[in-house]
Amino acid sequence: MTMTKMAIIYYSSTGTNYQLAQWAEEAAKEAGAEVRLLKVPENAPQAAIEQNPAWKKHLEATEHVPEVTNDDLEWADGYIFSVPTRFGNVPSQVKSVLDGAGGLWFQGKLIDKVVSAMSSAQNSHGGQEQTITNLYTTMFHWGAIVATPGYSDDSIFAAGGNPYGTSVTVDGEGNMQEDVEAAVKHQAKRTVDITNRIANN
């Protein structure tokens, strides 16, 4: 059996989804996967970033993290996405990455990739579930295999009970309101397990 290749892809303006992605990276490695932690390129105007000290600080702190490319999407057997919600949908930065994979899609190179997703918002009903399912809609077009956590572990209930993917509420100071670390790690290990079964069948 070859080592399963996982791309953990996140977009984060102030650090929440970066933290979720790091927990997922840790768990995926523990599960025996070869992992690439990758960030979505930032395309927001510099003027907007400059007006938000937390946004600017996070960008500078994560300059070392490589940006996701189509080569990464082709390389990986499975993906874990961690993205904030924007009006119930993925941020435009993430949409650019998905749209930019059209060439891979056309060549059939995204078929049977395994994917799972996580999200965050500033209130408990801020569109996290809708964001995750909207991302999954793109995955259906890719021919990917969606691996949700469902209710496969008690940690999911402790984190708020989102069966589509772990989600978290973040206050105005950037503090997570639920304890989701265990749920993220369970979701990551479950995704690696399902990817193992598909990629090494």
What does the pLDDT look like over 107-152, one tens digit per residue?
A: 999 999 999 999 999 888 889 999 999 999 999 999 999 999 999 9
Terminal Cα-to-Cα distance of the chain (whole angstroms):
9
pLDDT in tens, 47-89: 999 999 999 999 999 999 999 999 999 999 999 999 999 999 9
- Indicate the pTM of the whole model: 0.96
Rounded distance, CA 19 to CA 3, Å? Answer: 24
Q: How many domains does the chain have?
A: 1
Cα–Cα separations (whole angstroms), residue 157 to 152, 184, 193: 10, 12, 21
Amino acid identity of residue 171, one-letter, is: D
Q: Which domain holds residue 69?
A: 5-199
Instruction: Give the CATH number, domain containing residue 180.
Output: 3.40.50.360
pLDDT at 40: 98
